[in-house]
Amino acid sequence: MIRVWPISPRQACLTNKRSTLADSDETGPEDNFMVTPLLKVVLTEDDGPVRERLARIVHEWPEAELCAACATLEETQAAIEADDIDLLITDLKLPDGSGIEAIRFLARRRSEAEAIVISVLADERSVLAAIEAGASGYLLKDADSIDLIEAIRDVMAGRSPISSRIARVLVRRLSENGNTAAENEGARPALTEREMDILWGIAKGFTYGELADSLAISRQTVPVHIRNIYRKLQASNRSEAVFEAARLGLIRL
Amino acid sequence: MIRVWPISPRQACLTNKRSTLADSDETGPEDNFMVTPLLKVVLTEDDGPVRERLARIVHEWPEAELCAACATLEETQAAIEADDIDLLITDLKLPDGSGIEAIRFLARRRSEAEAIVISVLADERSVLAAIEAGASGYLLKDADSIDLIEAIRDVMAGRSPISSRIARVLVRRLSENGNTAAENEGARPALTEREMDILWGIAKGFTYGELADSLAISRQTVPVHIRNIYRKLQASNRSEAVFEAARLGLIRL
DNA sequence: TGTGGAATACCATGATTAGGGTATGGCCGA
DNA sequence: TCGGCCATACCCTAATCATGGTATTCCACA
């Protein structure tokens, strides 16, 4: 079965050139439309009734083809192996492992496929692990009524359907980065330009002589700068200075 | 005017301990409710008609008090100064600056206040800057119809109302972290436990003698491990080894 | 069951480098 | 004019690097 399907940003991005996609489409003046096979979906959920309910939603949606409805990690991996799927919708708590492993498995096989998590878990570890594994969507099961089709449309269009409670975890994580960076900014000792040059050389393992040559200064001047760096970083030798500098973000790694 | 208001996780978190938080799931016993004044809101939006529309929504909502409806950054900062507000709803593009500055300003004055961005901007820089400045919500203006009240409820309950297109930016950023970490995992040389001990000591600036003492091994053994570390990290001295180790994420800073 | 390899540990020495101290002078902005 | 930054110079001690070795344990593979 073949259907007309609007090009998603994701798809356009994934094949190489947009022109390839556009050229293969002869259905009309709108080159935003192309002939696309059904979206191949695998659904994983260990709870039978819930799985049935979700499966029915996907199944009744004419734009997708439900390749498999799995209850375990093993089944899911088999389903991913068996078929080049476009989307995995998975629970996290599975009897034989975590849905995160399924997402990783999918990412390795088909990096262009998408994954949506549907789970009751909202703790930071689960959420971040799922995102880092490659999930693009994360819906909380306790939501009054998950609009699964809306979520699928979102994710295939390059957006991320995420419950607001889950989103808070992401926001907190990212804002922490900002805060710590900003805090360190204040506590960061001010090194002079020359000292930064020297610091870089130290990190790269240069000796006094190499440092002097590369900066075109006297060999005897180098250790003076180095000692000033030690004082400012409260270090007493090179490796400690590099460690402190890295910790304070003075050196970009 | 005084109203009964459920404790938000945010508020619970600020008052004291996490236990309060866990118990505060909506319909619990009476001590989950407290007497609270109206939510004090400042709204900033440079486009007049849009501002009027949003202001009316907030104004007509009985649970909030609209302290000010501003068109510029300056007005916003003045409004924040004038009143201990609970929530800032702001656009990013303002005639005299960025709404991000308003968020930063608010974070400095009242760190417990929340901020929601409503903007047409969806680029990574704007989104991440807003989040790092302290925004908890980010709604895209092109959304068909923003449910502002729902967003306010979300954010005051410790959730993060975020448009799915914006969420994708956050997801991408966080999953990149995961990927680079995972990639480095592969390229990362495998140091033995002993070598990691030694590496730590090096980073802290220990000498051979201190290293030997702290690990209870012979002074002569230390340089052997160190040379092995150099070989594995392709370094030729201590500082370079620390630098490489930090770069590869072998050392948590 | 044996055997190779890796990791760990120990020993020794000469050449090189780093670290600490102290001193002097030029330059520039407050 | 003073202080901070940069640069230069010398000397001495301590530490490191690159070499040589040898021995033990443990694990994987044949």
pLDDT of A206 = 84
pLDDT of A188 = 60
CA A65, CA A108: separation in Å to the nearest integer? 22
B141 shares its domain with B20: no
Residues of chain A contacting B242 with CB distance shorter than 8 Å: 203, 239, 242-243, 246
A228 touches strand D (CB under 7 A): yes
List the A232 CA – C26 C1' distance (angstroms): 24
B162 shares its domain with B47: yes
**Are the Cβ atoms of A174 and B247 closer than 8 angstroms?**
no
In a domain? residue A82 = yes
B158 shares its domain with B197: no
A155 shares its domain with A204: no
User: By the CB < 8 Å criterion, does B171 face chain A?
Assistant: yes
pLDDT of B179 = 63
List the B248 CA – C18 C1' distance (angstroms): 26
Domain of residue A234, CATH code:
1.10.10.10
Q: What is the pLDDT of residues B65-102, one digit of tens each?
A: 999 999 999 999 999 999 999 999 999 999 999 999 99
B55 shares its domain with B162: yes
Which bases of chain D are under 7 A from a protein CB atom? 5-10, 14-21
DSSP A123: S
Instruction: List the single protein residue with the shortest CA to C1' distance from D4.
Output: A192
B43 shares its domain with B21: no
Instruction: List the single protein residue with the shortest CA to C1' distance from C11.
Output: B220
User: By the CB < 8 Å criterion, does A159 face chain B?
Assistant: yes
A217 shares its domain with A161: no
A198 shares its domain with A87: no
In a domain? residue B178 = no
Confidence of residue A2 (pLDDT cuts 50, 70, 90): very low
In a domain? residue A23 = no
Domain containing B1 equals 1-37
Domain count within chain A: 2
Domain of residue A155, CATH code:
3.40.50.2300
B70 shares its domain with B80: yes
Q: What is the pLDDT of residues A87-129, one digit of tens each?
A: 999 999 999 999 999 999 999 999 999 999 999 999 999 999 9
Give the closest-approach CA distance of A15 to chain B in angstroms. Answer: 19
Q: What is the pLDDT of residues A172-227, one digit of tens each?
A: 999 876 665 555 555 566 777 788 888 888 888 888 888 888 788 887 788 888 88
Q: Which of A173, A201, A233 is the last residue of a domain?
A: A173
A204 shares its domain with A169: no
Mean pLDDT of B95-111: 93
In a domain? residue B158 = yes
